[in-house]
Structure 1
Amino acid sequence: MFLDREHAPTEDEQYECYKAMVEALGGLPMVLRTVDIGGDKPVDYLGLSEHDLSFLGLRGIRLGLARPDIIKTQLRAVFRAAKHGPIKLLFPMIATPNDFRRIRQIAETVRKEVDGPQIDLGVMIEVPAAVTMAPELAKVVDFFSVGTNDLTQYGLAVDRTHPLLAKRADSLHPVVLRMIDTATKAAHAEGKWVGVCGGLAADPLGAQILTGIGVDELSMPAALIPAVKEKLRKANLADLQALAKRALAQDDAVAVRLIPPAV
């Protein structure tokens, strides 16, 4: 709703869209990420410079905090739609617990304004700072969602859109896997669940390794679900855990890809 248009979507426009989505799920929860433009998702209507919208600029929640009019409009629509079905709200580009506390306070103010229901609030784990602060974040959030595309980019210091460097941005690199392992352990220590919503979850080998690490939920395009489900259903959990342990001990992504899969 935010891309390829001349102006930001209105509150009512967003509300109608979210309401239709949550009603279509028939009672199943919908995880909705707040606006995450910038980087490889630029827009013109905000009047921001190319520098502002860079991968290290006003991405994700940084834009929401810098432009509260944008995030408050979306939050109002979300809490109104949450009256029609369960929504879990996910904040991108969170780096520290204070980032989350600031946006949580804004969200709670908006929720009261529209008399919306209490909903779970989670954070994207997609910058190394969030991994380092994962034990502290896990104490204040309801769930983690690992964005492996950006976590790979920031963890390996590789612009994933650069034609000469894109091959280096491999989410099966042990650096990325170890960060996911760290975040998962921190979340589970506080009784919180962890999902992965980046491209790695859709990779059959990646899905096996993530399951072995202990990730609770994998998100991927619908067309890829059957193949990944088949791989996981045929595998033994102990074998997946052994696979993950071997992957975490490798030196690079090439070595990880050479490990025989569990099935």
Structure 2
Amino acid sequence: MNTPRREKARAATIDEIKHTALTHMREQGTVDIRFADIARAMEMTPPALYRYFADRDELLSALIADAYDDLGRCVAEARDAVPADDVGARFMAVAGSYRQWARQDPQRFALILGMPLPGYAAPVDGPTTEAAQRAMSQLSSLFLEAQAQGVLGRPRLRDVHPAIAACAEQKHQQSGVPVSAETFQAMLHAWSSLHGFAALEAYGHFDWITEEGRDALFDGHARLTAETAGLPAPRTL
């Protein structure tokens, strides 16, 4: 009877540590954390935190994995709310969800998709890598859906550097799903394009434009991104 109770108490403390770390990031406007600051906020001693996380990097890895999982969940829910046969509208939903997630939580957005943290190295093939792959696959899956439905067109840019073609081949071997090099390149262009807009807005660089104007600008940006990538226009929104 006591073991489950101890496990629940431990899980609750871990959640509180992560919540406290995120609160500190948001209040301080930084993605770096110190055990001393977290311990002080929780009225604990810094050594007590080592019972739950081996070091700062392990805590950061947990926060990064959680953030990727949350982003992936939000994007997947937005995508799945749209009929599967309307790939264009599903893309717009995914793009909008990605943007909203970044706007609502710029610190977590910076944590996973901003500047690398000094002194931090994510574990190879660890939870952060797996969570990132799950989250980012939400966008690439739309290209695969369009291809399977026969509605994926050729992207506007068709010249592919051999280095990108090699990356495409490597991904093909890993996933077993054939995607042309030019479409693989279009996927990367689409993500980097949407990410650029989301980052500019999340960090205040579009604040001089009204919210209505930003919405219209993003709508056009997402539509242009989809069109140049070879995705079909949305039938519904």
Report the TM-score when normalising by structure 1.
Answer: 0.28
Q: Which is higher, the Rg of structure 1 or of structure 2?
A: 2
Higher relative contact order (CA 8 A, sep 6+): 2
More strand by share: 1
